[in-house]
Homo-oligomer: A and B are copies of this chain.
């Protein structure tokens, strides 16, 4: 590109003239372009400091007359370990990351609990990694309680907390800074199959880490709450308009939830795909180290996503990138996520 070229004023009359400025070489030659003298900008004030602050991540939408608020607990990024996918080599995992416009050799896990206001009940579904992890991660995760406040949700007003399954990223936020229930007026509901599984020491003995290590955490959290959650069964309407659905495999009693109002509904899927969820959407056959039953988890993924893609069902995914709301389409031998458009109003 010459100075002569850049001084041409596009007039809209001559296609060739305009397009001469639009070549790959010009677009990528940032360094060469930078050598041109910039236009003078008057300096009327001091440089504005960098903000280094993100928008508190919450997003609200209607489901019929209900309000659903997705509230991020944050996200963390860790090196990709050789055992992250039990049945695929690291180079295949890296290829999938890159195909998803993600950097190789690391995996990002995002966490998005949900608040549903049905108009008569205020319900939280899953609770994030908790305040301990907030401190440990320097705010990268464990943001749920502060983002709830930013979203204008009063923890004291919450009627029920529905837990999808007993992994730490879903239950730790049940506890406040005082290690008591962070939602003091709420009934805590846990799938009966989860309670039976995690309370049985014999199960801890027969699983390797990282699953073995999770048993103590379940006892820690629910022990602090007096070990008295309400146990619920699959297919039950837990609160008017919120119905549980068995989606086992990730854990034995893992439940998803259908939030329905009028003719409108959303599937709150929890961990049908967990961790770096995009990878397991693309490869439902991949075995996560966190799945207690890999083949059953795979089967559940196919059942849920074959249904959701055929019916163009809206899905809210705990581990989808925030705000975690989208549609699933068939793609190759798996699926892909199509995020729903953000509505700047409600």
Asked whether, in the complex, the Cβ of B299 is within 8 Å of the Cβ of A54, the reply is no
Asked whether, in the complex, the Cβ of A44 is within 8 Å of the Cβ of B110, the reply is no
C-beta contact mask, A47-86 vs B, less than 8 Å → 1, else 0?
1101111111111100000010100111100000000000
Asked whether, in the complex, the Cβ of A10 is within 8 Å of the Cβ of B237, the reply is no
Contacts of A296 in B (CB 8 A): 12, 15, 18
Q: Within the complex, what minimum Cβ distance (angstroms) separates A301 from chain B? A: 11
Distance, CA A53 to CA B159, complexed state (A): 21
Find residues 137-184 in chain A having any chain B CB closer than 8 Å to their own CB: 139-140, 143, 151-154, 156-157, 159-160
Interface size on A, residues (CB 8 A): 128
Contacts of A121 in B (CB 8 A): 41, 47
Given the known interface contacts A11-B196, A101-B312, A345-B140, the answer about A159 and B43 at a Cβ–Cβ threshold of 8 Å is yes
Asked whether, in the complex, the Cβ of A187 is within 8 Å of the Cβ of B117, the reply is no
Main secondary structure of the interface of A (DSSP, over half): loop
The residue that A48 contacts in the complex, of B7, B51, B75, B154, with Cβ under 8 A, is: B154
Contacts of A246 in B (CB 8 A): 10, 18, 21-22
Q: Which 4 A-B pairs have the closest CB atoms?
A: A12-B252, A6-B235, A321-B341, A10-B193
4 further A-B pairs in the complex, CB-CB below 8 A; given A30-B258, A48-B157: A47-B120, A74-B345, A110-B342, A139-B345
**Which residues does A use to contact B, with CB under 8 Å?**
1, 5-13, 15, 18-19, 21-24, 26-28, 30, 33-34, 36-39, 41-45, 47-48, 50-60, 67, 69, 72-75, 100-102, 108, 110, 117, 119-122, 139-140, 143, 151-154, 156-157, 159-160, 185, 187, 189, 191-193, 196-197, 230, 232-241, 243, 245-249, 251-253, 258, 260, 265, 267, 292-293, 295-296, 299-300, 303-304, 307, 311-312, 321-323, 327, 338-346
